[in-house]
Amino acid sequence: MTFLWGLLWGLAAVMFIAGGAVIGVWWERKVSARIQMRLGPQQIGPAGVLQMVADVPKLLFKEDIVPDNADKPIFRYAPMAVFAPIAMSVAVIPFWAGWAPLDSTVGMVFYLAFPSIGVLGILLSAWASHNTLATIGGMRAAAQMVSYEVPRSLAVLSVIILAGSLQPTEVMEAWQWWWVPLTFVGFLVYFIASIAEMNRGPFDLPEAESELVAGYFSDYSGFRWAIFMMGEYGALISASLFGAAVFLGGYRWLPGVAGLAVFLVLAMVLITAVMWIKWTFPRLRQDQLMTFCWTVLTPLAIVQVVVAGVVALWL
């Protein structure tokens, strides 16, 4: 029974991520178009909203190409290893007062841990491709994602300290509006580190289509490629939802359904902000990336933890 429920929730999570990705792609195309003074998709459906409905079947029916020299079983299943942890991370996000799909007592750690499994999937796919560009991309991804884990976790730690709990629902219950200005620096660090975690511009060095074709998924096509893409958008959605909840208060601003709406709007604002950043700034260099992580973000996060710790003494 538990297994069946789990299967159902898993399906729901996949549908949630996939649907979100479909909408996200359309929204990103629109945002990037406006930033570049274009119109974006417009032919299929009003304002092109059905563009992705047309694109998904196209991806489904494309030929599933597996390179001759690839490590075929790993090559085939690496996309799942990228996608699955991200879909699982959605489970601990507190959508409603006292309710998360998986209300774990170690939810905060769970959330920080699971997307990190994704880096393993990326490494696997890069290695299995047996391709120079993919290997470089995978290596970059590993370096980047492991590094940015540190400031990200530290930033979240500040909220955990304030709330005194690792259970997301309890963190939300303990949340006070003045935490927003208090943890603002922490939020910024979390936000920037999350962008780096999901390999988006300007931190998209692992993909770097102008240098590495598509980095670790250069050799992927058809629906396997689509799984990578959905994973990327899933990470974007998941990180935005989590940030909107634990840093910005989520549903706590208003009671009932209105609170949920505020939560989702906050998440969407974050998503749009991520896209805005991607289409505004050029890609960083590898050394700049690392310098930024260890000399700016990590110290700032530590300062935030200290501030939160001092304030927590008075709570």
Q: Does 72 participate in binding other proteins (rule CB under 8 A)? A: no
Q: Does 312 participate in binding other proteins (rule CB under 8 A)? A: no
Q: Nearest distance from residue 187's CB to other proteins, in Å? A: 16
Q: Does 184 participate in binding other proteins (rule CB under 8 A)? A: no
Nearest partner of 274 among 180, 199, 213, judged by Cα? 199
Q: Which of 223, 268, 279, 303 binds other proteins (CB under 8 A)?
A: 279
Q: Which of 16, 23, 42, 173 binds other proteins (CB under 8 A)?
A: 42
Q: Amino acid letter at 145?
A: M
Q: Nearest distance from residue 116's CB to other proteins, in Å? A: 27
Site residues (CB under 8 A) for other proteins, limited to 2-41: 33-39
C-alpha atoms less than 13 angstroms from C-alpha of 30 in its C-beta half-sphere? 16
Q: Does 47 participate in binding other proteins (rule CB under 8 A)? A: no
**Cβ atoms 186, 301 nearer than 8 A:** yes
Q: DSSP letters along 98-156, please?
A: TB-TT--TTHHHHHHHHHHHHHHHHHHHHHHHT-HHHHHHHHHHHHHHHHHHHHHHHHH
CB atoms within 10 A of CB 13: 21
Q: Nearest distance from residue 111's CB to other proteins, in Å? A: 27
Question: Which region, judged by CB under 8 A, interacts with other proteins, from 12-20, 57-65, 79-87, 275-283?
Answer: 275-283
Q: DSSP letters along 216-268, please?
A: GGTT--HHHHHHHHHHHHHHHHHHHHHHHHHTT-GGGGSSHHHHHHHHHHHHH
Q: Which of 61, 99, 177, 276 binds other proteins (CB under 8 A)?
A: 276
Q: Does 69 participate in binding other proteins (rule CB under 8 A)? A: yes
Question: Which region, judged by CB under 8 A, interacts with other proteins, from 89-97, 182-190, 273-281, 301-309?
Answer: 273-281
Q: Does 63 participate in binding other proteins (rule CB under 8 A)? A: no
Of 43 and 210, the one with the shorter C-beta distance to other proteins is 43
Q: DSSP letters along 40-106, please?
A: ---SSSGGGTTHHHHHHHHHHHS-----TTS-HHHHHHHHHHHHHHHHHHGGG---BTTB-TT--TT
Q: Does 1 participate in binding other proteins (rule CB under 8 A)? A: no
**Structure tokens given for 62:** 């494309």
Going along 152-193, which residue ranges are E strands? Answer: none
Q: Nearest distance from residue 33's CB to other proteins, in Å? A: 7
Q: Nearest distance from residue 291's CB to other proteins, in Å? A: 12
Q: Does 210 participate in binding other proteins (rule CB under 8 A)? A: no
Q: Which residues bind other proteins (CB under 8 A)?
A: 33-39, 42-43, 68-69, 276, 279-281
